[in-house]
């Protein structure tokens, strides 16, 4: 197959879609497919498993988004199928212009994320589904129109599939494919002091890192290493105490080394779908302390490979961190359950199914 691939972020950016893009592209190329990526970025891509065209983020949003749609249509004209893991409106426009089928990997509710970014809504993702203010209605309408052309829509959790089912889309076109674990390999852990927790991800409001900082203050002797970058970095640097180390974005292999050396991974998110960072921590044998939001409980099993707490509660998060450090045998027991818990969601199995869905769409 020839595949045009549109995504909003790509390395050196960090985050789930920036992990998925190169991984899946590499898989497709190894399987003999031709892949061309159109994305946005501040500079040259640091990973090139295929042809990657970058629309500079220095352009104002309407211009760069229009360029993504235009270049996506150009790429799609030479492809059998268009695949998008972001920039959904641009992907829909490109699909129409090029008359090519569209497959979407949906990792969130884009209307909710925009409403939160523009401060049009301050509640939870579940509450947003019932919101009816004029601005919210406009965002919901645009979201659904953008996704209506996609067949199928792939989501990484049953949680998100249930939400998407309420958007007026064809339920039969929604497929659950969990974010995959990295291929089995030995990772040389970085030597970190005992009691070090590690967060990996984009530094955004969604990840609720101020909550993690507040919890850390309640856990004497604990440290937190933050790996990642994003729009909230400057504010987080001002909030971080002496026991917080912000390392910025790291290449994926280096980030995995840091996680592998941690006492536990920390995920304090206010809302989530099913984060790559949790799956990757488990894949290197590290338990996860996380808030029980979205699809997180589908992969982090409380008392089996990690600990789950309610969102927005720094004391509950601190109590879970203290348990990891102080409860005899708990950390080792959770670590022993980490790798086996993600064996069934290997990248090879998940990507082969996604490849099949692309082929089915291309054949229509």
Task: Round to whole Å and give the CA distance between 305 and 301.
Answer: 6
Query: So what's the pLDDT on residue 185?
Result: 67
Domains located in the chain, CATH noted: 2-180+346-362 (3.40.50.2000), 196-344 (3.40.50.2000)
Q: Which helix (H) or strand (E) holds 214?
A: helix 209-216
Question: CA neighbours within 13 Å on the CB side: how many for 308?
Answer: 15
Query: So what's the pLDDT on residue 78?
Result: 96
Q: Is 262:142 a contact under the CB 8 Å cutoff?
A: no
What is 23-57 written as a DSSP string?
HHHHHHHHTT-EEEEEEEESS--S--SSEEEEEET
Local structure of 232: helix, strand or coil: coil
How do 288-291 and 306-309 pair as beta strands? parallel
pLDDT in tens, the chain (364 residues): 999 999 999 999 888 888 899 999 999 999 999 999 999 998 899 999 999 999 999 999 999 999 999 999 999 999 999 999 999 999 999 999 999 999 999 989 999 999 988 899 988 899 999 999 999 999 999 999 999 999 999 999 999 999 999 999 887 889 999 989 877 667 899 999 999 999 999 999 999 999 999 999 999 999 999 999 999 999 999 999 999 999 999 988 899 999 999 999 999 999 898 888 999 999 999 999 999 999 999 999 999 999 999 999 999 999 999 999 999 999 999 999 999 999 888 888 899 999 999 999 999 8
Local structure of 179: helix, strand or coil: coil
pTM metric for this prediction: 0.84
307: its two tokens: 């600990």
Cα dihedral 212, 217, 218, 222, rounded to 10, equals: 80
Q: Is 101:95 a contact under the CB 8 Å cutoff?
A: yes
What is 236-299 written as a DSSP string?
HHHH--TTEEEEE---HHHHHHHHHTSSEEEE--SS-S--HHHHHHHHTT--EEEE--TTGGGT
Task: Round to whole Å and give the CA distance between 12 and 229.
Answer: 10
Q: Is 222:243 a contact under the CB 8 Å cutoff?
A: yes
């Amino acid at each position: 197959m020839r595949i045009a691939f549109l995504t909003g972020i790509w390395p050196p950016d960090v985050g789930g879609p920036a992990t998925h893009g190169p991984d899946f592209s590499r898989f497709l190329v190894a399987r003999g497919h031709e892949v061309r990526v159109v994305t946005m970025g501040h500079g040259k891509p640091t990973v090139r498993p295929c042809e990657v065209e970058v629309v500079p983020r220095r352009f104002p949003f309407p211009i760069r988004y229009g360029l993504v749609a235009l270049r996506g249509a150009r790429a799609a004209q030479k492809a059998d199928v268009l695949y998008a893991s972001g920039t959904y409106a641009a992907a829909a426009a490109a699909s129409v212009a090029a008359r090519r089928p569209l497959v979407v990997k949906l990792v969130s509710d884009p209307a909710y994320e925009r409403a939160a970014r523009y401060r049009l809504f301050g509640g939870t993702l579940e509450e947003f589904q019932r919101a009816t203010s004029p601005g919210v209605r406009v965002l919901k309408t645009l979201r659904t129109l953008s996704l209506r052309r996609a067949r199928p829509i792939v989501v990484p959790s049953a949680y998100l599939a249930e939400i998407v089912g309420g958007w007026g889309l064809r339920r039969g076109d929604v497929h659950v494919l969990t974010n995959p674990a990295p291929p089995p390999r030995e990772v040389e852990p970085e030597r970190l002091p005992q009691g070090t927790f590690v967060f990996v991800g984009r530094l955004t409001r969604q990840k609720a890192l101020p909550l993690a900082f507040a919890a850390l203050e309640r856990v004497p002797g604990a440290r937190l290493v933050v790996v990642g970058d994003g729009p909230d970095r400057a504010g987080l640097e001002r909030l971080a105490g002496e026991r917080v180390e912000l390392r910025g974005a790291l290449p994926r292999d280096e980030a995995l080394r840091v996680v592998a050396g941690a006492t536990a991974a920390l995920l304090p998110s206010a809302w989530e779908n099913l984060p790559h960072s949790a799956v990757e921590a488990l894949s290197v044998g590290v338990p996860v302390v996380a808030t029980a939001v979205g699809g997180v409980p589908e992969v982090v099993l409380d008392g089996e490979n990690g600990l789950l707490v309610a969102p927005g509660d720094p004391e509950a998060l601190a109590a879970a961190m203290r348990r990891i450090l102080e409860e005899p045998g708990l950390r080792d027991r959770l670590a022993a359950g980490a790798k086996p818990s993600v064996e069934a969601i290997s990248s090879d199995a998940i990507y082969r199914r996604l490849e099949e869905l692309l082929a089915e769409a291309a054949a229509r």
